Homo-oligomer: A and B are copies of this chain.
């Protein structure tokens, strides 16, 4: 799956690109509107993530240009909450969905997946790691045949870990992936959530699916512990 990201804020662009690539997508980036339009018309993408505020040519215009040229690649627009450019307008100009800044990667990737799924008419796949199983569509979790109930945030963290099962993920990566990118609270929050997940999906079952890699981060065992 090949995506185009048009975003002038370098920091966000790089972070989003990295995050999406970690999910298995191929991502090209354009930092301004003209480059974006050029790439969009030339390359063949499965989906375009498009910021509204852009130098060169803004998101609305690019979206309108593409639609006028009969290009119906799904477009996810990024809008600023306090901007004078209105998010309502996004859908009018032909965007398929929009997302208000600041957002977290899990939300972004969920939207991307939802759009691609809608375009392809597919079903979301359940994820498994050994006998640990989650259904992102229904947001439900099982350990073997026992269903486990998690809070929203706990589920987000677990889904993030499971999509990268076997990889060591630093606390920073988890924080960047699950929390909104403008979150600047105590990074200890990751440890707290790891603990809560362990008490729910590991300890009652005498397993240790979430492993600590000291100095590096955490790893979810691909075999579910």
Contacts and interface: CB of A to CB of B under 8 A. Distances in A.
B123 A118 contact: yes
A207 interface: no
17 contacts: A87-B147, A88-B144, A88-B145, A88-B146, A89-B145, A90-B145, A91-B145, A92-B145, A114-B137, A114-B138, A117-B123, A118-B123, A121-B122, A121-B123, A122-B123, A123-B123, A137-B137
Interface string A68-109: 000000000000000000011111100000000000000000
Contacts of A123: 117-118, 121-123
Contacts of A89: 145
Interface string A110-131: 0000100110011100000000
Interface of A: 87-92, 114, 117-118, 121-123, 137-138, 144-147
Contacts of A137: 114, 137
A144 B147 CA distance: 38
Nearest to A114: B138
A138 B113 CA distance: 11
A124 to B, nearest CB: 9
A127 to B, nearest CB: 15
Nearest to A139: B139
Contacts of A138: 114
Q: What 7 pairs across the A-B complex have the smallest Cβ distances?
A: A88-B145, A91-B145, A88-B146, A121-B123, A92-B145, A114-B138, A137-B137
Nearest to A124: B137
A140 to B, nearest CB: 9
A149 to B, nearest CB: 11
Nearest to A135: B114
Given A88-B145, A89-B145, 15 more contacts: A87-B147, A88-B144, A88-B146, A90-B145, A91-B145, A92-B145, A114-B137, A114-B138, A117-B123, A118-B123, A121-B122, A121-B123, A122-B123, A123-B123, A137-B137
